[in-house]
Amino acid sequence: MPTSKKPSEAAIKRELHTLSTRAFELAKAAADKAAGDSDKAEAAKLAAELPALSARSKALSADYQAEAARVLSEARLDLAFAKAGGGIPSSIRIGRYITEKAAAE
């Protein structure tokens, strides 16, 4: 019996959240002024993967579509922030990270 090459909903969700988590880590490194050229290159590579991941996310159930759009939006903003090394408008979550970090210092 042939196996389907279509990724499962669980696999797509996992891929979304893995990419989103990595995007946030890269953005935090940029906010902390700890991002190097390899981090910026990784952010660019991940950003290039977003359109394909966005297309795959269309296969998710209607119940998860809004969450997938939010996750992709945050990742897109975080990756742009990381690629630029900070200093540009950021996602809400990295903005919160920067504010909380400044308050703790």
Give the pLDDT means over successive 10-residue stretches in the chain (105 positions).
Answer: 71 96 96 93 97 94 93 95 88 87 89
pTM of the model: 0.85
How many Å apart are CA 33 and CA 14, to the nearest integer?
29
**pLDDT at residue 92, rounded to an integer:** 85
The predicted structure's pLDDT at residue 6? 74
Q: Is 15 helix (H, G, I), strand (E, B) or coil?
A: helix
Joined together, the tokens standing for residue 73 give 């939006």
Q: How far apart are the first and last CA of the chain?
A: 60
Please tell me the predicted confidence (pLDDT) of residue 61.
93
Q: Which helix (H) or strand (E) holds 91?
A: none
Residue closest to 56 by CA, chosen among 44, 43, 65: 65
Residue-level pLDDT at 88: 84
